[in-house]
A and B are shown apart, each in its own frame.
Chain A
C-alpha cells in the first residue's frame, strides 16, 4: 500500500480502500459504454465524517479525486483517470422524512427508487425518476441534475433540491440553500446541482417530496410514421395539458425491447409509439385522457391502448425504462446521446436523423422524452470494426450539429462529463466557457475535483482536447 492508501485506510478501514487492479476493475467504467479509466485507488467511506476526513487528507496531499455514486452516469462523469475514486454508495441512510413539510434529508448514496419506497406510506414520492432509478443515487442525480420520464410535469432534479451540505475540495463544509425559510443571496443549491462532481461532494441533500397522484392513466399510441407521432406530441403539448410523461420510441427501439426479456407488448410493426401518462386528481384526469386519445387519433394513431390496471401499466413502463439495456443486447457497443431540441422542431429533426442514419448506413434507435424535446438517439455498433465506428461517430456528430442548429442543447440530463466535452463550444461562446471555469475555481481553486470534465476550454488548461482511447468492453 502507498502511504496515501495507508492513511486513507486509517480513516475508513483497510477493507474500504481498494488498490489492486482486480479489485478496482469494476470502478474503471461507469454507464458510458466503451470507456475505461484506471483510478489510482478506490476509497469507500461509510460516514459523513469519513468523507470529510478523506477529502481533507486528499487536500493535504493535493491529490485529485472523482466522486462516484452508483456509476450509472452516461457521460463518463465518474471515470477517474489517475485520480482517487471516492465512492459514496455506503452513505445510504435516509436521515429524515418530514411528511408535513413534504421533504426528506438523505445521504448521497441513497438509491433514487428506495427514497420513493420509503416515503410511500406517507403518500409521497421523490418525483425525478431517471430510468436508472433502481440503481442510481441521489448524490449522482444532484451532480448530473438528472431527469426522467416524469420530469415533464414535475420538473428535473434541480426543481426538487432545497438544500445541500457539501464538503468542498479544500475540506471545508458548506451549507447551500435552505429548507427552512427563504434563503437570501445566491442560489447556491441550484448552482451546485448539475456541477458533475466538480464543486465538491454532497454529504446530505434535502429534497422536496411530491404527493402521489390520486389517479394515473397510461396510454400507448401507435403510429405508422414517426412524423405523425412527432406531430401528435406537438399537438398535445400545445393544448395546455401537461402529461406526467410523454415518451417516444421508434421501430428499432421497439424491436430491441420486444426481443428482450423486457418485452412490453409494443406493436413491432409500428414506426413509433408514444407512451403517455396523465395523472392528477381523479376528477380532472378523464377529460385530459380523452383529449390526448383524440389528438393521437387525429394525428394518425392506429390504436390507442389505455392500460387497464397497474400490472399492465408497469409492463408498458418496464419496456421503456429498460430500453437502453435492451439495445445493449443487439450489438456490443452503444453510443448514447442526449440532445434537446425545441418541440416544434421534432418532426424536422426526426426526419433528418433518419436521413443521416441512412446516409451513413447506421441504425439509430430513438427512445426519448418527447414532451420536452429531449432526444436519445442511440446507435448500437461494433467498436472493433473500425469502419463501422467511423461511420457511427460521423453520423452522431451530424445529429448533434443538427440539434444545435435548430436551437437546441447537447445534453438535457446526462451531463457533459468526458463524453460531450467536444460539443461544448458548439453551444457556448468562449466567454461563457471561461466564466464556467472561473465558477469552478471558486469551489475548487486547485482543480482537483473531477478534473478534465465538463468544460473543455483552453483557458482552463486542464483538458488536452483528446478524447481518451476507447477500449473494448470486457
Chain B
C-alpha cells in the first residue's frame, strides 16, 4: 500500500540498510540528532499498530539472505529482510518447512513477522513466533547490536531477549537477523472442509466434539459464509481442518472427523488463499478471549451481517475483515473485556482501542527506555 506509506511518513528521509552495521550507524545518527525512525521491512503493512510519526524511514528489506542452514539441525538463520517465501523454497528442498503463516502474501519478511508476532492458522499448534524463534540479533534504539538466544533449539542462558523483542513492533530494536526452528515435512498433510450447522448451539456442539475427539489438527479455522465464498468453498459456514502426520494417522483422523460432520477434501492452496485474501483497504481486526468464549465471539461477529470473518478455535480469536469500519460502535457490540488488536484500519478511523494491557504499562515503558533511551524507534506504534 504505497499511498498509505506516504501518509504514514510524509517527506521522510529514506535509507536502505545493507547490513547490521548500516542499521547501527543510521540509528546512532538518528539518536544523536533526535530524529524518530520508522522501521520497515517490505512495507506491506505499515498501517498496522498506532500511527508512527517519524522523519526518517529505515528500509530493512535489503538485509536478505539465509546465513546458516544445516538441515540436520532443523534450524535456520536468516537476515531480517529475507522473505518467508525464500525460506520456504530453501527448506522445501530438504523436506522441511518453517511453520509461520502470517496473513498477507509470502513475500513478508522474517524480521517483520517476528517483530509483530504475526501468526496465522498454524498459531493454533506449532506456528507462534514466540515458540519458533530461538535467537535474534537486533540493533537497539541506542545503536548497539544485541544478541538474544542463540542457534540451538534449547537455551536458557541469560535473560530472554528473544521473547522480549518478538511482538515488540520494533520499539526495542530493529531485528537484523534471527534463528528459527524448522520442522520436517510430515508424510501426509491434508485439509478438509467440514460442514457447519447455522445455529449457535449446533456450532457449539460441533466445535466441542472436534475438540474432544481423537484429533490433533495442525490448524482448525472456522470460516463465515462470506469468507468461505471468497475461497470458492460456497457461501456457507465451513470449518477448515488441517491434519498432518504419517499417512495412517491422517487417514484415521479423517474418518474420525467425518463421523462428526460432513467432511470433504479442500484444495491444498486453501490456506494460502485465505492468507492472501485480506481486503486491501478497510478494517482488519482481531477480537479474542479464552477459547471457551469463542462461540459467543463468533455469534456476535456474524450477527454484524454477512461479514467476512474467520476464527482460530484453539486460540479463541475471531478475525474480522471488513471493507470499511462499521458505522456503529463495533467494540460496543462485544464484551468490554474482549481483547482487540487492530491489524489494518483507515487512517481516518479514530475509534481504535488502546493496545497495551494497562497493568503492564509502567513496566513496558521502562523496558522500552532501557533499549531505546530516547524513544526514537517506531514511536507511537504501541501505546507506551
Task: Using CB atoms and an 8 Å cutoff, list the residues of chain A in contact with chain B.
Answer: 98, 100-103, 144-145, 147, 151, 155-156, 158-159, 168, 174-176, 178-188, 190-191, 193-195, 198-199, 214, 234, 237-242, 280-288, 340-344, 369, 372-374, 407-416, 420, 423-424, 427-429, 431-436, 438-443, 454-455
Q: Is the CB of A174 within 8 A of B152?
A: no
Contact of B371 among A280, A428, A435, A440 (CB under 8 A): A435
Q: Does B147 contact A (CB under 8 A)?
A: yes
Chain B neighbourhood of A340, CB < 8 A: 152-155
Q: Which of A101, A407, A428 contacts B292 (CB 8 A)?
A: A101
Stretch at the interface among B220-228, B232-240, B268-276, B356-364: B356-364
A187, B250: Cα distance in complex, Å = 34
Q: Nearest Cβ in chain A — how far from B143, in angstroms? A: 10
CB distance from B106 to the nearest CB of A (A): 22
Task: Show 17 A/B contacts (Cβ-Cβ < 8 Å), sorted by A.
Answer: A101-B290, A103-B290, A174-B363, A182-B315, A186-B167, A190-B166, A194-B160, A214-B214, A285-B249, A342-B75, A344-B70, A374-B154, A409-B154, A416-B157, A424-B158, A427-B150, A442-B363
Q: Which residues of B contact A239 (CB under 8 A)?
A: 184
Q: Are A439 and B154 in contact (CB under 8 A)?
A: no
Complex-state Cα separation, A248 to B297, whole angstroms: 47
Identify 5 new A-B residue pairs, CB closer than 8 A, beyond the known A180-B289, A181-B289.
Answer: A184-B341, A191-B164, A194-B159, A238-B74, A439-B370
Assess whether B145 is in contact with A344, with CB atoms less than 8 Å apart: no
Chain A residue, CB-CB nearest to B150: A409
Most B Cβ at <10 Å: residue of A151, A184, A198, A242: A184
Please report which residues of chain B, range 149-205, place their CB below 8 angstroms from some CB of chain A when the two chains form the complex.
150-161, 163-164, 166-168, 172, 183-187
Would you call A188 and B360 a contact (CB within 8 A)?
yes
Verify A184–B253 contact, CB threshold 8 A. no
Contact between chains at B249 and A284 (CB < 8 Å) = yes
Q: For the complex, what is the distance from the CA of A234 to the CA of B73, rounded to whole Å?
A: 8
**Cβ distance A292 to chain B, nearest Cβ, rounded Å:** 12
Q: A182-B341, A184-B341 are in contact. Are A284 and B370 (CB under 8 A)?
A: no
Interface string of B82-120 (1 = CB under 8 A from A): 000000000000010000000000000000000001000
Contact A436-B159, Cβ < 8 Å, known A185-B355, A185-B360: yes
Which residues in chain B, 345-383, are within 8 Å of chain A measured between CB atoms? 355-357, 359-360, 363-364, 366-367, 370-371, 382-383
Residues of A within 8 A of B61 (CB): none
- B25 contacts chain A at the CB level, 8 A cutoff: no
Which chain B residues in 43-62 approach chain A with CB under 8 Å? none
Min CB distance, A388 to chain B, in Å? 28
Contacting pair B163 A191 (CB below 8 A): yes
Of chain B, the residue at the smallest CB distance from A431 is B144
Q: Do the beta carbons of A187 and B370 come within 8 Å of each other?
A: no
Query: Is B147 touching A429 in the complex (CB atoms < 8 A)?
Result: yes
Q: Give the chain B neighbours of A435 by CB distance below 8 A.
A: 140, 144, 146, 161, 370-371
A74 → chain B closest CB, angstroms: 12
Assess the A428–B164 pair: CB atoms within 8 A. no
Residue of B with least CB distance to A151: B154
Decide: A240 near B73, CB < 8 A? Known: A180-B337, A190-B160, A341-B152.
no
**Are B161 and A436 neighbours in the complex by a CB distance under 8 Å?**
yes
Q: Which residues of A contact B214 (CB under 8 A)?
A: 214, 281-283
Contact between B164 and A186, CB atoms less than 8 A apart: yes
Q: What A residues does B363 contact at CB under 8 A?
A: 168, 174, 176, 188, 442-443
CB–CB A408/B339 < 8 A = no
Q: Distance (Å) between the CB of A113 and the closest chain B CB? A: 21
Q: Complex Cα distance A410/B157, Å?
A: 7
Q: Does B282 sit within 8 A of A, measured CB to CB?
A: no
Q: Is the C-beta of B219 less than 8 angstroms from some C-beta in chain A?
A: no
Closest B residue to A101 by beta carbon equals: B290
Q: Is the CB of B248 within 8 A of A342?
A: no
Does residue B41 face the partner (Cβ distance < 8 Å to A)? no
A263 and B252 alpha carbons, distance in the complex (Å): 39
CB distance from A419 to the nearest CB of B (A): 12
Q: From A151, A179, A407, name the one whose CB has the most chain B CB atoms within 10 angstroms.
A: A407
Partner of B355, one of A180, A184, A287, A414: A184
Q: Are A182 and B317 in contact (CB under 8 A)?
A: yes
Closest residue on chain A to residue B357 by CB atoms? A183
- Please give the distance in Å from A456's CB to the nearest CB on chain B: 10
- Give the distance to chain A from B124, nearest Cβ to Cβ, in Å: 12
